[in-house]
Amino acid sequence: MSPALSLLQQRHSAPSRQLGEPAPDEATLQALLEASIRVPDHGKLVPFRLLRLQGDAKLAFGEQLAAIAIRNDPDMSESKQEKEQLRYTFAPLVMVVVACLHAESKVPEIEQKLCAGNVAYNILLGAYALGYGAQWLTGWAAYDPEVATLLKLSAHEHVIGFVHLGTPQIEIPDRDRPALADLLDTWTP
């Protein structure tokens, strides 16, 4: 395997429940995020921004999210309620990647969202390269208008993902990957 491609060949997500302290320190996080925002950006719109959830603020966010989930589904089972209440208690740091869409731009909305998605992926890849674990999650909260209000998002902003960061607390096995031969064709006229 080419050393230049080994990082891509080995990268995998670490389940957020398996992420603990330490998170990247401030200098490492700044370097990671500066590298992560170097993405293809048609029109130089910078259609993204980042929100940090850490410490007491992360826990308060998680509690408020759980309350919204239970209010939205009062018949939710106790096990699902517990899952909602614990969701933000594991990884020490969560980065919220937000797409900031420019409706007046000639750049299609999908390209702007993909640009923001590349930021989220770069955080995953960079975290792995630095020896940390990360998982990109969305779930109902990424699409819920009440959560958008909680995060103080503008009408033109959307959550792309919640990237949970920390140190894997166990060895994380890789998952099965698709075979390239099943995915690759050559187009001919």
Is 146:68 a contact under the CB 8 Å cutoff? yes
User: Which pLDDT score, from 0 to 100, does residue 178 have?
Assistant: 96
pLDDT tens-digit series, residues 101-131: 999 999 999 999 999 999 999 999 999 999 9
Domain definitions of the chain by residue range: 14-55+91-168
Is 96:159 a contact under the CB 8 Å cutoff? yes
Is 147:62 a contact under the CB 8 Å cutoff? no
**First-to-last CA distance in the chain?**
33
pLDDT tens-digit series, residues 73-87: 999 999 999 999 999
Does residue 1 register a pLDDT over 90?
no
**14-55+91-168 adopts what CATH topology?**
NADH Oxidase (3.40.109)
Q: Long-range contacts made by residues 65-72, C-beta under 8 angstroms, separation at least 24?
A: 65/141, 65/147, 65/150, 68/141, 68/144, 68/146, 68/147, 68/150, 69/140, 69/141, 72/144
pTM assigned to the model:
0.95
User: Which pLDDT score, from 0 to 100, does residue 65 have?
Assistant: 95
Q: How far is it, in rounded angstroms, from Cα 39 to Cα 121? A: 10
CA atoms in the 13 A half-sphere facing the CB of 1: 8
CA atoms in the 13 A half-sphere facing the CB of 32: 26
